[in-house]
Amino acid sequence: MAIKVIKEQCIGCSACVSACPFGAIEMQDDAKAFVTEACTACGACIDTCPVKTIIREQEEKQVAIDKNAYKDVWVYIELTEGKPRNVGLELLGEGRKLADAMNQKLAAVILGDGVEPIAKEAFAAGADKVYLVEGPEYAHYSTDAYTIALVDLIGAYKPSVILLGATNDGRDLGPRIACRVGTGLTADCTGLGIDEATGLVAWTRPAFGGNIMATILCPDHRPQMGTVRPKVFKKPEPDYAKSGEIIRVASKVKPGDIRTKLVEVIKVCTASCNLEEAEIIVSGGRGLCKPENFTLIEDLANVLGGAVGASRAAVDAGWKPALHQVGQTGKTVGPKIYFACGISGAIQHLAGMSSSDIVIAINKDPDAPIFKMADYGIVGDVMEVLPILTEEFKKIRQA
């Protein structure tokens, strides 16, 4: 659908200019309204026009795809140092639900060098089959090599749905694949389901800064693709008695296809900032008052063997790097225990840690929103409470 102005009828009142929330309508030299490329086809201008000269124009859809040829749900299993990241296993659990609802099979896609044993993990998490592409060119993630391999797989086997983790690599890989196969991609999803009216995958993601949740469908193109944030879903309980079919696919990547070369891996992130995999996270917010006080957060995290998180306010203030940020615009986490220290509980932060099993909040404001989500709450100054907690946990660990 597109918005069109019938110029012959336009009276040049400019009412539509002020009505457009995106500033997509301009008045030309001939005093006629003109719709620019910034238009999102929201239609706000249509009702405003006093002479009804603004209309929706139906665009012809030229989709020559045989959607019936596409079937099965695929989950891309991202690897780190030869091991599957949790997000891939989490998506296998959710992909199992989608596949069952669509009466299709669930497949895992694994790329790497000598990674066939990981197929057992995929089967245990619910996969019916595994597409395995191995070779030295896949030993480390490469945009070129991985894109070529997955585009080739999609062309050969035609999946109906593809799920990827919204990680650094997933956010790089997903859009490239979608562009090359000519389909859409819903990014950073926080919910998956099946639309009852159409049978399509309903991708749910935050929009407008997290103020609304949008549900997106992909009716005309295949495969239906989306990236999903880590820790949004729980990992399924593994069943190692389960087995399936391994489909080995020969690599078609040539050395000249890879335009980059990995020179060295420098680890700048220790366990303290590995938020997606952490079982315990201690997060600090504006209530810590200054960056030096984050040592109290780090001390407690070290004693508990956990990771260090931060609210957006703390990151924006420069107290912690962005890789520590938990929330709508940071990382989505789901640890067994989440400590919220000096964090008031803005909706954007709550959206990033709501999957935590146990939430412990420390705040001197008894009416702070964080206490509504917390399983345990301590009303007090974090600068006084944190050293006491750290000392007590030390005694327990040493006992």
pLDDT at residue 172 greater than cutoff 90: yes
Count of beta carbons in the 10 Å neighbourhood of residue 27: 15
Tell me the C-alpha distance between 98 and 106, whole Å: 9
Count of beta carbons in the 10 Å neighbourhood of residue 163: 30
pLDDT at residue 42 greater than cutoff 80: yes
Q: Which of 118, 138, 170, 82 is nearest to 252 (CA)?
A: 138
CA angle (49, 52, 56) in 5-degree steps: 100
Q: Which of 78, 112, 85 is nearest to 275 (CA)?
A: 85
Output the pLDDT for position 210. Answer: 61
Output the pLDDT for position 331. Answer: 86
Contacts for 66 with CB less than 8 Å, ≥ 6 apart: none
- Domain 271-398, second-level architecture: 3-Layer(aba) Sandwich (3.40)
Residue with tokens 């480390």: 140
In terms of CATH, what superfamily is 67-257?
HUPs (3.40.50.620)
H-type helices in the chain, by residue range?
15-19, 44-48, 86-102, 118-124, 143-157, 168-181, 294-304, 312-316, 347-353, 370-373, 382-398
Over residues 180-228, the pLDDT tens digits come to 999 999 998 988 999 989 999 999 987 776 667 889 999 989 999 999 9
Do domains 2-57 and 67-257 share one topology? The answer is no
Residue 44 — φ and ψ, nearest 5°? -60, -30
Q: 2-57: what CATH class?
A: alpha beta
The larger pLDDT score, comparing residue 152 to residue 399, is at 152
- Whole-prediction pTM: 0.71
Tell me what percent of the residues of the chain surpass a pLDDT of 70: 95
Output the pLDDT for position 214. Answer: 87
Over residues 91-114, the pLDDT tens digits come to 999 999 999 999 999 999 999 999
Q: What are the residue boundaries of the structural domains of the chain, listed by start? A: 2-57, 67-257, 271-398
Q: What is the β-pairing status of strands 245-248 and 337-341?
A: unpaired
- Mutual orientation of helices 168-181 and 143-157 as an angle, nearest 10°? 50
Over residues 314-334, the pLDDT tens digits come to 999 999 988 899 987 788 888
Asked if residue 142 lies in contact with residue 246, where contact means CB atoms within 8 angstroms, the answer is no
